[in-house]
Amino acid sequence: MADKTIRELSEELGVSKQRIQQVVDNLPTSKKPQKINNRYVINIDIQKEIKKNIQKSKNESNKENNKFGDKKTTSENDYLSVITMQLKEKDKQIEQLQKLLEQQQILTLQANKKVERLEMDKEDQED
């Protein structure tokens, strides 16, 4: 391993240059890399320190994600069950509305027939 720039180290570790810069900024003054021509030159010891810090933060992030991942799954399952129940309820309501509509149509048809009969009876009485 040779001295590397922030860019080279970020490519090697698969993290952004900004992440490397954050780690460098948080290093104690005694471990900060030298700046040469407006670029940090990171020696092997500092590279190891940066890698250790990044790995530590990745592990912590994974632990957090695992913690919330279980809750998220439970939350998603709860959400899905609520939505499923709501859909079933809506289906029942739609069926009820369809029955009511059919009944209304039947009543309207019967009323129209009665009106026609009454009109026919009236015409027959007038003749």
Sorted by where each begins, the domain ranges of the chain are 6-93
| Predicted pLDDT of residue 37 | 81
| Predicted pLDDT of residue 94 | 96
Collapsing DSSP states into helix, strand and coil, what is residue 43?
coil
Instruction: Please list the rounded mean pLDDT of every run of 10 residues in the chain (127 residues).
Output: 80 86 84 80 84 83 62 72 91 96 97 95 84
Largest CA distance in the chain: 119
| Predicted pLDDT of residue 20 | 84
Question: Which residues, including other chains, have CB under 8 Å from residue 5's CB and lie 6 or more apart?
Answer: 39, 40, 41, 42
